[in-house]
Copies of this chain bind each other. A is one copy, B any other.
Amino acid sequence: MQPYELTLADAAEAIRTGRLSPVELVDSVLERIEQVQPRLGAYVSVTADRARHAARRAADEIAAAGARGPLHGIPAALKDLIDVAGTATSASSRVREGHRAPGDSTVAARLSAAGAVFVGKTHTHEFAYGLTTPQTANAWDRGRVAGGSSGGSAVAVAARAATFALGTDTGGSIRVPAALNGVVGLKPTYGLVPRHGVTSLSWSLDHVGPITRTVEDAALVLGALAGHDPRDPASVAAPPADHRPGPGTDLTGLRVGVPGNYYFDHVDPDVEASVRRAIARLAELGARLVDVEIPMTRYIRPTHWGLMVPEASAYHERTLRAVPELYSADVRVLLEAGELMTAGDHLRAQRARTLLRQAWLDMMDTVDVIAAPTVPITAVAAGQTAVTWHDGTVESVSDAYVRLSAPANVTGVPALTVPVGLDPQGLPIGMQLMGRPFGEAAVLRAGHAYERTGTAGGLTPAA
């Protein structure tokens, strides 16, 4: 096994016990990037020299005083919406040509302080406003979409071209590409991880979180990211928590909600079968399955759009006037349309969100976790724009990919995706586990137990 193949937890343990040096690990990952980047296009930029330098410093620090924690010396990739001092944050857009970040984002600073080594920046759907990330190919099938908007981060982790990565999620942008590439993605509770220094798509829905190979790895990264930062107005002062799941896989006492509506409507039969098998596994591990009904479902999409679209347009107002031709056509039309929305429609969305949040809190009084598909279909062919369902309904690919993820953005609840199998075409399927606000522990516990009793370490694409 090459160092680049190690999970974060295993690499950290190897470093801690002196069996692996950060220099070897980073060199191995950088070689792996060179190998897969031409095929997959996960990275916008690779900072090899800087990474090797940081790895040597980490090695020296660890030799002198031991590892500061599990991220010390671990190679990480950042979605290219996340500022790192002195480097460009391209947002995968021509609009950002010549950009230079004024300083570290809070998450970059926290990962650096924890000793992580940044190997590069990964592609996003332009300004995170889309679900495919066209510059990047799916890690399992080059002819299929990476998913988005954190497509580069998910593909980098799936292809073992980063030990972990960060993504952002406004309607599913961590979970969708993680599911489509067979890796783990966590959208934390709204307000738990500060967004200072991260390019916004829609500030009332934006989240930053980890994309990793295992649930345990996601918990380790979350531990370094979480915590109050007054520079993000939505950041909350949650009590510090150890998010790392315990070693056991017994789920006795855990109540897992299984939606009777919404989450299994218009879902591919292979996806549904895999997720239902995974839910049955949770029950075998001791969880009690509870039927739940998702409230106010017809409000989810208009509320999500009614919040996101005008916030995105507000963020881009100046550049949209100054250099409209530098945006991709699909993003530009969304931004321009957003400028036409009335305050009344936006307020309706804000009010509906308040009611949706309360209705979800009420529903979640009866369960600890809700289990459901992450996306209703696996990765589509690049260029495919629509899906036709068994009843003849036609849905755009973007709408299908965002449909099951958006509720956790509107309500702010934590949501994890874990790989639960492959469809007949050999493409990964993800199960979504949602919790109560700041209920990351229950979500990670369920995901970890599932993972430990199945294909531990995640699925591996034929690379």
Interfacial residues, chain A to chain B (CB-CB below 8 A)? 233, 310-311, 313-314, 317, 338-348, 351, 354, 358
Contacts and interface: CB of A to CB of B under 8 A. Distances in A.
Task: Give 4 nearest A-B pairs by CB, closest first.
Answer: A310-B343, A343-B346, A341-B343, A314-B347
Contacts of A344: 310, 313-314, 317, 338-339, 341
A314 B233 contact: no
Contacts of A345: 343
Nearest to A339: B344
A345 B340 CA distance: 11
A342 B354 CA distance: 21
Given A342-B339, A342-B341, A310 B233 contact: no
Q: Say how many copies of this protein the assembly contains.
A: 2
Nearest to A347: B314
A347 B317 CA distance: 11
A233 B354 contact: yes
A343 B335 CA distance: 13
B346 A347 contact: yes
Contacts of A314: 343-344, 347-348, 351
A218 B348 CA distance: 36
Contacts of A351: 314
A233 B352 CA distance: 12
A191 B189 CA distance: 23
A109 B346 CA distance: 33
Nearest to A349: B343
A34 B210 CA distance: 70
Contacts of A313: 343-344
A431 to B, nearest CB: 32
Contacts of A343: 310, 313-314, 338, 341-343, 345-346
Nearest to A311: B347
Nearest to A310: B343
A406 to B, nearest CB: 19
A338 B346 CA distance: 13
12 contacts: A233-B354, A310-B347, A314-B347, A338-B343, A338-B344, A339-B344, A340-B342, A341-B343, A343-B343, A343-B345, A343-B346, A346-B346
A314 to B, nearest CB: 4
Given A233-B354, A341-B343, A346-B346, 14 more contacts: A233-B358, A310-B342, A310-B343, A310-B344, A310-B346, A313-B343, A314-B348, A338-B343, A338-B344, A339-B344, A340-B342, A341-B344, A342-B343, A346-B347
A341 B339 CA distance: 11
